[in-house]
Amino acid sequence: MNPTQVVVAGIGGYLPRRVVTNADLASTIETTDDWIVERTGIRQRHLVEDGENTVSMAAAAARIALDAAGVAHDGVEAVILATATPDDAFPASAVRVLNELGAIDGFGFDISAACSGFIYALSVAEAFIASGRIRNALVIGSEVYSRLMDWNDRRTCVLFGDGAGAVFLRAEPQGEGQPKRGILSTHLHADGSLGDLLYVDGAVGQRERSGYLHMNGREVFRHAVGKLSGAVSEALEANGLTAEDIDWLVPHQANLRIIDGVGRKLNLPADRVVVTVDRHANTSAASIPLALYEAHRDGRIQPGQLVLLEALGGGMTWGSALLRM
């Protein structure tokens, strides 16, 4: 029997229709388009409208991924949803997504690892499938960061947007004499001593706290390039590869300067790095699957290509994953 591989069978994404430009923000807070673009590369972001939330966006992205894979929605065995903005404390947003899809025989749970959440969720799903416990899983990142913003704080509110991305994973036998496809490896890290660099001030029941996101941007930037480059090198070394072997780097879309810094460290040309931060802003756990969806949909990412994912977020958490499409 040929060994099992965990392949990406379908990719989906969803962005709210409401687009907020830097000029729109400049009409309500003290900022300018030039100030935002120079420091972040962001020109606009999508924000939810009435009736949209983490579950609705996740379900929309999931349906696109399932349709791309040619899979009936009720055939989903597991939903693993990365989010820092669940619609309720419980039940998990993943369970509500299962209900939206009509997958009554599946199970689901949320993962909270901030902007690294999708990499964490991908790793968990791959382990479930590779172990033989399940045959398929939806891995979703869905975020409504507009809930967490102090819209009077120009240092943070200009950075984030809302959206969802999803991939459908399933087990397939590896072809005789063929290179392994799907998830080749994942690599996860965390350092709780750095948790105060990026956090949300509040939790369930703590009504005296603001509930807003707080960030020490200078320190996050200082750690980001080194830790992300290390995680990328770890993935390459684990698979006996070099940066020259990588067809596409799909990074977490937090800041264009961080993305460029990681690319330079790897000597990767800019035309092999997928960038959506200018149009999506930072959608946290949704940013990588949204970028993956866009680059796959427009034909840049092709079957057989090697794709490297990396992310860093509050916690501090960071990690990488290597895929062969």
Q: Which positions are annotated as active-site residues?
A: 115, 252, 282
Across the strands, what pairs with 186? 321
Query: What does the CA dihedral 278, 306, 129, 287 come to, rounded to 10 degrees?
Result: 0
Strands annotated E in the chain? 4-14, 18-21, 44-47, 78-82, 107-111, 136-144, 162-173, 182-190, 198-200, 213-215, 248-251, 306-313, 317-324
Task: List, in sequence order, the alpha helices (H) in 160-255.
Answer: 217-238
CA-based R_g, the chain, Å: 19
Helix then strand count (H, E) for the chain reads 10, 13
Tokens of 174: 């590896």
Cα 148 from Cα 156, distance rounded (Å):
10
Omega cis (within 30) before 91? yes
Supply φ then ψ for residue 196, to 5 degrees: -80, 0
Q: Is the dihedral of CA 233, 289, 167, 115 positive or negative?
A: positive
8 A C-beta contact, residue 79 and residue 97 = yes
Across the strands, what pairs with 309? 250, 321
Q: Which of 73, 87, 77 shows the shortest CA–CA distance to 142?
A: 87
8 A C-beta contact, residue 157 and residue 282 = no
- For the beta carbon of residue 283, count every other beta carbon within 10 angstroms: 33
